Amino acid sequence: MTGRRPRRAPPPPVAGQLLDWSDGSIHWSRDPRPCRYCGRDTNLRDSKRSPAHKVCAEDALQARAAEAADAYQQNGQL
C-alpha cells in the first residue's frame, strides 16, 4: 500500500450553490449588461460569457430539470 487515501466524491450541491462562479476571469465583466433571464443589469457572465445573475441561472437550471422530470414521468422518456 502507498498510504494514500482514496478521493471522496464532492458533496451534493445545496440549493443556491449549484454553480461555481469563483473564477472571476470567466464570470466577471466591467461592462454591465442586462441579465438574459431577468433583464436587470449585471456584471456577471455565465460560462458562455452571456450576462446572467448566478441566482437567475441556477433558477433556470432547476426549472429545466423539473420540466425534464415531468416530461419523463408523463412520457416515460426525455
Domain residues for 32?
A: 24-75
Average pLDDT, the chain: 81
Q: Is residue 49 part of a domain?
A: yes
- What is the structure's pLDDT at 19? 78
> H or E element: which one contains 42?
strand 41-44
Q: Encode pLDDT of 40-65 as tens digits.
A: 999 999 888 999 999 999 899 888 88
pLDDT(8) > 90 = no
- What is the structure's pLDDT at 78? 52
Give the global pTM.
0.66
Residue type at position 27? H
End-to-end CA distance of the chain: 45
Q: Is residue 5 part of a domain?
A: no
Q: Is residue 11 part of a domain?
A: no
C-alpha cell, 59? 433558477
